[in-house]
């Protein structure tokens, strides 16, 4: 999780603009959206691994399995707004047309009678050429560098599956041809438009469809030679940690290969040292399930078994939600800020794709407050920490008067060193920015206030329970955390219903009341269609833990709104299920 960075400019008479970079949320939402639902493999259904993992080549960049249960698809269509449902349907249309409609197939009539409970899609890494001649290049991309797609359909009725393979639909242009590889029959289309499909039935249990014959042969080799995804280091050990029966989706991401492929464009190329660090990581996997009030994602990431790097098992982020008031808009907590920074440095130093450059953050701290980030600050920040956004309710206030304070809390590992750093900070604020540094009290406890040139209280800092330092910036909300609030964030019903209780103990948590955030602040754009996604969401909760020295667990819950009128694909039927989603034309 990346540390959210928040600035809080205050404006009256209008909705304030909050430059809120929710790095952790953005990355995990995208990752969660990508992580819809991958592997549950094994022999036909081993329940613990990704469906088809035993025949998907081990170098696959990404794989996702989706349920064929129409009731679950109907349930999914209940969530969100009409706009967010339309975005989902757009993706389904593209998937349906590529593999079915464009080749004359109808899911409801041709596929559903014989397919089992889940189907899997995988994207294979480009195959590197071992031959001397250069491949034909089109638009600057080598022909043999094209990524291939493999679709695995587990078979519950072998007779019907064999029949559809033996008697495929007639093509609009081109023809079907028969061939064999390693003694296995393959059916391949030759289309004048350049679109080719290849299909084979493996062991009467899996119908494998790919977008080129080479990918089919790679799947056969992986199945026969036991060089499949199921044999990837750490996969069989870690995927069962999050695998669930009858889930909506499961997924797997090959972290180092995907990063390398994704950054081949000249303007996104990762430095060699960053790619080297990513080689320490092996996989990210997750399971998505549908619940009455939203979507739950269970994820796991693990290191390459050959990596020398080890994780520190430090799951001590357990109390900060008890120190925040119930009205808290956002909270991000962790176990050890110094270690968090060190982990962030591993893949962010020199990485142009990092949300915040470590060097820029160091130089920014030095420039703003003349302190060394690591020597003066992080050296005493080895305990539990939290960054929160707390609203300040004004008497007789109007919507345009909405203000919020950014609150930072940290359990100091060395109070004497911490006090020295805070005294240096006060001196810089006084001499460099001409603020008044005034002692004060809140609920009988001493605090230090920063008073701006125009007499405005800008910030306050102090101590809680002898070893917990706090700093409040922006709106004056110190009285909401001093003394400890009677009604805490932990007792807030939205927090309880959103933030997962597992894994426990935890390494960190994240909570954001999306509905109130969207209504009161202008958020930075982090990913495409962000507004559509946020308007369909009530709140987001994340709980993380270090499982062992080589793996990390994540639980995410998205509390979603429900639309009374579900958006459906443009077809004659209004039934929003996967049958219609995959079987009708536009």
Q: State the Cα–Cα distance between residues 484 and 465, nearest whole angstrom.
A: 10
The answer to whether 37 touches 426, Cβ cutoff 8 Å, is no
The answer to whether 54 touches 243, Cβ cutoff 8 Å, is no
Cα separations in angstroms, 464 against 380, 468, 498: 16, 5, 27
Cα separations in angstroms, 376 against 287, 343, 557: 42, 19, 37
Q: State the Cα–Cα distance between residues 499 and 510, nearest whole angstrom.
A: 7
Nearest to 568 by CA among 72, 94, 88, 33: 88
Per-residue pLDDT, 565 = 61
Residue 47 has a CB neighbour count (10 Å cut-off) of: 12
Helix (H) or strand (E) holding 258: helix 255-262
Instruction: Note the helical H segments in 35-107.
Output: 70-76, 82-99
The answer to whether 310 touches 548, Cβ cutoff 8 Å, is no
The answer to whether 456 touches 473, Cβ cutoff 8 Å, is no
Q: What token pair was written down for 59?
A: 């170098």
Q: What token pair was written down for 343?
A: 């982990």
Nearest to 155 by CA among 10, 51, 58, 228: 51
Helix (H, G, I), strand (E, B) or coil at 265: coil
- pTM of the model as a whole: 0.83
Q: Which residues contact 252 (CB under 8 A, 6 or more apart)?
A: 38, 39, 50, 53, 60, 62, 63, 64, 229, 235, 239, 283, 284, 285
What are the φ/ψ torsions at residue 140 (nearest 5 degrees)? Answer: 80, 5
Q: State the Cα–Cα distance between residues 292 and 41, nearest whole angstrom.
A: 27
Sign of the CA dihedral with 99 first, then 102, 108, and 114 last? negative
Question: How far does Cα 99 stand from its chain's mean position?
Answer: 27
DSSP string, 121-167: EEEEPPPPP-SSSPPPEETTEEGGG--EEEEEEEBS-HHHHHHHHHS
For the chain, the residue count is: 586
Q: State the Cα–Cα distance between residues 314 and 298, nearest whole angstrom.
A: 20
Nearest to 34 by CA among 578, 556, 582: 556
Q: State the Cα–Cα distance between residues 286 and 243, nearest whole angstrom.
A: 7
Q: What average pLDDT values come out for the chain (586 residues) when binned by 10 residues?
A: 35 33 30 31 52 94 92 88 81 73 76 91 77 36 62 92 81 82 90 76 92 93 95 94 92 87 65 72 95 96 90 92 96 96 85 83 94 96 97 60 89 97 97 95 96 92 95 95 95 97 95 92 76 90 96 97 63 39 38
Q: State the Cα–Cα distance between residues 366 and 425, nearest whole angstrom.
A: 11
Q: State the Cα–Cα distance between residues 392 and 110, nearest whole angstrom.
A: 59
Rg (CA), the chain: 27
Per-residue pLDDT, 11 = 36
DSSP 168: P
Q: State the Cα–Cα distance between residues 120 and 210, nearest whole angstrom.
A: 12
Nearest to 512 by CA among 534, 528, 488: 534
Q: What token pair was written down for 305?
A: 């078994």
Q: State the Cα–Cα distance between residues 548 and 542, nearest whole angstrom.
A: 19
The answer to whether 509 touches 499, Cβ cutoff 8 Å, is yes
DSSP string, 409-459: EEE-S-HHHHHHHHHHHHHHHHHHH--EEEEEEETTEEEEEEE-TTS-EEE
The answer to whether 45 touches 154, Cβ cutoff 8 Å, is yes
3-state helix, strand, coil in the chain (%, to 5): 30, 30, 40
């Amino acid at each position: 999780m990346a540390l959210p960075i928040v600035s809080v400019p205050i404006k009256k008479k209008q909705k304030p603009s909050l430059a809120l970079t929710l790095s952790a949320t953005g990355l995990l939402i995208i990752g969660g959206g990508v992580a819809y639902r991958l592997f549950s493999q094994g022999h036909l259904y081993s329940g613990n691994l990704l469906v088809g993992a035993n025949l998907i080549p081990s170098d696959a960049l990404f794989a996702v399995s989706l349920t064929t249960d129409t009731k679950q698809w109907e349930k999914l269509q209940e969530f969100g707004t009409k706009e967010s449902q339309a975005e989902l349907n757009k993706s389904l249309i593209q998937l349906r047309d590529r593999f079915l409609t464009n080749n004359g197939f109808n899911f409801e009539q041709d596929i559903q009678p014989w397919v089992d409970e889940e189907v899997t899609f995988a994207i294979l890494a480009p195959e590197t050429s071992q031959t001397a001649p250069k491949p034909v290049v089109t638009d600057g991309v080598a022909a043999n560098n094209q990524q291939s797609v493999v679709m695995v359909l587990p078979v519950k009725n072998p007779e019907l599956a064999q029949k559809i393979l033996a008697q495929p639909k007639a093509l609009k242009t081109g023809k079907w041809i028969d061939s064999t590889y390693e003694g296995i029959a393959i059916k391949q289309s030759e289309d004048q438009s350049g679109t080719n499909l290849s299909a084979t039935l493996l062991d009467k249990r899996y119908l494998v469809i790919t977008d080129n014959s080479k990918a089919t042969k790679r799947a056969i080799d992986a199945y026969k030679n036991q060089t499949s995804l199921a044999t990837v280091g750490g996969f069989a050990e870690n995927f069962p940690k999050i695998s669930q029966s009858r889930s909506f989706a499961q997924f797997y991401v090959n972290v180092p290969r995907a990063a390398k492929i994704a950054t081949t464009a000249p303007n996104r190329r990762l430095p060699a040292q960053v790619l080297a660090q990513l080689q320490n990581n092996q996989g990210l996997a997750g399971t998505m399930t549908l619940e009455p009030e939203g979507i739950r994602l269970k994820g796991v990431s693990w290191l390459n078994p050959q990596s020398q790097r080890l994780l520190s098992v430090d799951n001590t982020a357990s109390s900060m939600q008890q120190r925040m008031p119930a009205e808290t808009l956002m909270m991000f907590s962790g176990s050890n800020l110094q270690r968090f920074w060190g982990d962030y440095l591993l893949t962010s130093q020199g990485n142009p794709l990092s949300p915040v450059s470590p060097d820029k953050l160091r130089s920014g701290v030095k420039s703003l407050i003349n302190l060394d980030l690591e020597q003066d600050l992080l050296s005493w920040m080895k305990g539990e920490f939290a960054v929160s956004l707390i609203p300040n309710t004004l008497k007789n206030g109007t919507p345009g008067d909405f203000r919020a304070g950014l609150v930072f809390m940290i359990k100091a590992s060395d109070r004497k060193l911490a006090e020295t750093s805070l005294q240096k900070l006060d001196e810089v604020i006084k001499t460099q920015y001409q603020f008044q540094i005034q002692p004060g009290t809140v609920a009988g406890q001493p605090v230090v206030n920063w008073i701006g040139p125009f007499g405005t209280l800008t910030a306050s800092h102090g101590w809680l329970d002898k070893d917990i330092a706090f700093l409040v910036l922006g709106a004056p909300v110190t009285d909401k955390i001093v003394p400890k609030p009677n009604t805490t964030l932990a007792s807030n019903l939205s927090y309880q219903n959103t933030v997962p209780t597992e894994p426990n103990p935890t390494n960190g948590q994240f909570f954001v009341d999306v509905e109130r955030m969207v209504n009161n602040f202008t958020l930075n754009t982090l990913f495409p269609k962000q507004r559509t996604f946020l308007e369909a969401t009530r709140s987001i909760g994340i709980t993380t833990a270090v499982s062992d020295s080589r793996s990390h667990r994540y639980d995410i819950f998205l509390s979603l709104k429900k639309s009374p009128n579900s958006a459906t694909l443009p077809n004659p039927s209004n039934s929003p299920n996967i049958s219609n989603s995959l079987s009708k034309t536009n």
